[in-house]
């Protein structure tokens, strides 16, 4: 009789006992089209805001015949850009330095933070766009009274917020991408924004910025909804939230994730062919009310009650 090896004995063990549970759905990956669309939009929107800030400061100094201070504006803006790039590199390094559950938690927290930032930004810009120029000119006037260093600091503070938001949004929108496509997309978005800013500053071209920020803001709501959806999945992967194996739908067997229509749907509204119930609940709970509030005309808010005519009558007598 031939001798049995340890491998033979292992092969003959019953396989019905202690069977492994079905595998959980894998972490959804960002398609190249989705990452490209989202990062281009981020670069365009945030880049134009930063470009408008710098152009307002430059125009104020040129019109007030203070061109000698212009290098301080460029210095402050340049330092802000470098700090933002460093922040993005720090996020990438931190993600690469952790693994397993800690990595899932890090990605989930940064996703939620990005959603909070982009939501605040689009609503703030909706109300502040009209008064931004006056506030910047007033602040720069005060900085000029303090000296060149204050001008550089003011320019830095005016630009760095946009830069840090861009770095955080880019990290969350492009994480998991295996190529440099998202980096190319955000670069093209920033270059487009710089071109638009130059046309607004140096030529007679006029762009309806209210309409631009309104519709790019609406698209960013969809991007943020997708980022939140991925963040929820990361929390589920880390075991913080339940329902990882409870799918709302899974059409991967009938819909090719690489098809043009699936790519278009994923790129525009951040819906993937497979998602859990909690992911979709979070997506809908964020996107629907946020979109309604953002697109609601300003005039639809309840008007203040008129003054009481009876109370004012004695004063007019």
| Cβ partners under 8 Å of residue 282, min gap 6 | 228, 229, 232
**Cα distance between residue 177 and residue 170, in whole Å:** 11
> Do 47 and 190 touch, CB atoms closer than 8 A?
yes
**Cα distance between residue 194 and residue 162, in whole Å:** 14
244 φ, ψ (degrees, to nearest 5): -65, -35
Q: Which pLDDT tens digits describe the chain residue by residue (317 residues)?
A: 445 444 444 444 444 444 444 444 444 444 455 567 778 888 888 899 899 899 989 989 998 888 999 999 999 999 999 999 999 999 999 988 998 899 999 999 999 999 999 899 888 887 776 777 888 889 999 999 999 999 999 999 999 988 998 999 888 877 766 677 888 888 999 999 999 888 888 775 677 777 888 888 998 998 899 889 989 999 999 999 999 989 998 888 887 766 767 766 676 666 778 889 999 999 999 999 999 999 987 655 544 454 444 444 444 43
- Find, among 222, 81, 228, the residue nearest to 164 by Cα: 81
Which three-class secondary structure string do you get for 154-174? HHHHHHHHHHHHHHHHHHHHH
The total of other beta-carbon atoms located within 10 Å of residue 264's CB is 13
Q: What is the pLDDT at residue 35?
A: 63
Q: What is the pLDDT at residue 204?
A: 57
**Cα distance between residue 133 and residue 110, in whole Å:** 31
**Cα distance between residue 229 and residue 252, in whole Å:** 18
> Do 232 and 115 touch, CB atoms closer than 8 A?
no
Q: What is the pLDDT at residue 176?
A: 64
| Cβ partners under 8 Å of residue 155, min gap 6 | 54, 57, 72, 73, 74, 75, 76, 77, 80
């Amino acid at each position: 009789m031939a001798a049995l090896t340890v491998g033979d004995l292992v092969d003959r063990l019953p396989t019905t006992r202690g069977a492994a549970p079905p595998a959980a759905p894998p972490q959804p990956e960002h398609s190249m089209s989705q990452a490209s669309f989202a990062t281009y939009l981020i670069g365009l929107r945030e880049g134009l805001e930063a470009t408008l800030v710098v152009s307002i400061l430059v125009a104020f100094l040129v019109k007030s015949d203070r061109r000698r201070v212009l290098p301080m504006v460029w210095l402050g803006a340049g330092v802000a850009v470098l700090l933002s790039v460093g922040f993005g590199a720090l996020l990438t390094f931190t993600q690469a330095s952790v693994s397993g559950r800690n990595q899932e938690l890090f990605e989930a927290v940064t996703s939620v933070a990005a959603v909070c930032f982009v939501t605040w930004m689009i609503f703030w810009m909706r109300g502040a766009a009209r008064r931004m120029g006056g506030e910047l000119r007033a602040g720069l006037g005060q900085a000029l009274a303090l000296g060149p260093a204050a001008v550089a600091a003011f320019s830095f503070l005016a630009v760095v917020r946009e830069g840090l938001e861009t770095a955080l949004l880019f990290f969350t929108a492009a994480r998991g991408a295996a190529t440099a496509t998202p980096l190319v997309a955000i670069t093209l978005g920033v270059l487009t924004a710089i071109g638009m800013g130059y046309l607004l500053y140096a030529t007679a071209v006029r762009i309806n910025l209210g309409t631009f920020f309104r519709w790019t803001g609406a698209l960013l709501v969809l991007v943020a909804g997708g980022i939140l959806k991925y963040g929820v999945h990361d929390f589920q992967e880390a075991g913080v939230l339940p329902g990882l194996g409870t799918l709302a739908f899974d059409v991967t067997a009938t819909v090719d994730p690489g098809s043009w229509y699936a790519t278009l749907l994923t790129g525009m509204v951040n819906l993937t062919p497979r998602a859990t119930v909690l992911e979709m609940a979070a997506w809908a709970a964020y996107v629907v009310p946020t979109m309604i509030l953002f697109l609601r005309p300003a005039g639809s808010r309840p008007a203040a009650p008129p003054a009481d005519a009876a109370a004012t009558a004695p004063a007019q007598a």
